[in-house]
Each structure stands twice: as structure tokens, then as C-alpha cells.
Amino acid sequence: MQDLVRNLLADLGEDPDREGLLNTPRRVEKALRFLTSGYAADIDQVLNNALFTVDYSEMVIVKDIDFYSLCEHHLLPFFGKCHVAYLPSNRVIGLSKIPRIVDVFSRRLQVQERLTSQIADTISEKIAPLGVAVVVEATHLCMSMRGVEKQNSFAVTSSMLGTFRSDARTRMEFLELIKLRSGAALRSSAATAQACAEE
């Protein structure tokens, strides 16, 4: 990987042997290994049996989970907040494990829509709740630094499973409790992703 980075620097017109860039290939490899460490993660090891049987049936929410990921189209960062809720049937998951699940899937080459679904599907699979809701809101540098260059735009995606999909009141309660920034209406960012991929 370091040889590839040296060649990339040379192709960009730089001198890979100058003082400021001499250790850049090593640093880039280290950074990319960390930013894509989710590929090597095992969800069961991450959860570490932190699944508990409880008599609780109200909504559980972990909101404002910071995440950073890399857009698979341009390898540029996208980052923001993830909000996760579920309605237990008879088991709950340790609260600290939910941000860890977000990290596992965000530390891969991603598109926001797939990231949102993977988080929801994993929680649904592991604890079989009555419903799962995940909302992700993110700024994409592939939109703000290049391409359409819209610095103040952000994309919002959601995945609603079970009761959150079938019961409008439950869904609205969740959305009211997380109160999306700027009062943004929940919307699909499919057009955003398409624009990103085409440029």
C-alpha cells in the first residue's frame, strides 16, 4: 500500500522523497487501516454477550452517535450523527454496544443508505425486537469539497423495521424525540448518492 501511495504522490506531480512527504505513505496506510477496520470486526465479539433478558417494553433510544465513514465512490469522508431506537420484545442490548455497532459498519467503504440498513438489520437480527428505527444524518465531502460544492447540504436516511414501519404513532414519537437538526424533514438521499456516483 505504501508503494501505491508513493506512486500516487508522484502521479499528482509531487516529490515523494521530499521531507514533508517522506513518511506520508506510512501514515496513509495506518489511517486507512483504521478507517476500514470494520471489515475485520466480528459483530458477536463486539457485542460480547451483552444481551439481557428484561421485562421492559418501552422504546430504547441512543441518539447523537457521532460517526465518520468513507464514501465508496470517491474515498472522501462523510460524517454526522446516527440515532438508533428499538422496542424490546424480551431482550435488550448493552447501551454501549449500539455505538460500537455503528462504528463497525461506518469503518468501511460505504454509502449512507447501506450503512443505515446494516445497523438496523444487525440489531433486529441479534435481539429480535418488536421494531428498530435508525436515522442517519451526514455531511458528504464529495458534495461540499467537489462536484456540486454545496457546503451546507446534508443527507438524511432512515430504516424503519417492525413496529416503527407499521405504526405511525410509534414512528412519530421516535422522530419527535430525536428532533433532527434544522427541523429537516425525513427524506431519502438516493438522489444525493446518484449525483455523487455520476460525477
- Which amino acids are annotated catalytic? 71-74, 112, 140, 142
Lowest mean pLDDT among 55-64, 154-163, 187-196: 187-196
Can you point out the beta strands (E) in the chain?
Answer: 51-53, 60-71, 77-87, 91-93, 109-110, 131-140, 155-162
Read off the pLDDT of each residue in 30-48 and give the average, rounded to a whole number. Answer: 96
pLDDT tens track for 161-193: 999 999 999 999 999 999 865 444 444 444 444
Q: Tell the CATH topology of 43-198.
A: GTP Cyclohydrolase I, domain 2 (3.30.1130)
Read off the pLDDT of each residue in 93-114 and give the average, rounded to a whole number. Answer: 97
Residues facing residue 60 across a β-bridge: 86
Residues facing residue 161 across a β-bridge: 132
Q: How far apart are CA 158 and CA 172, in angstroms?
A: 13
Handedness of CA 47, 49, 53, 54 (dihedral sign): negative
Residue with the three cell numbers 464529495? 142
Structure pTM? 0.87
List the chain domain ranges: 2-35, 43-198
Looking at residue 106, its pLDDT comes to 98
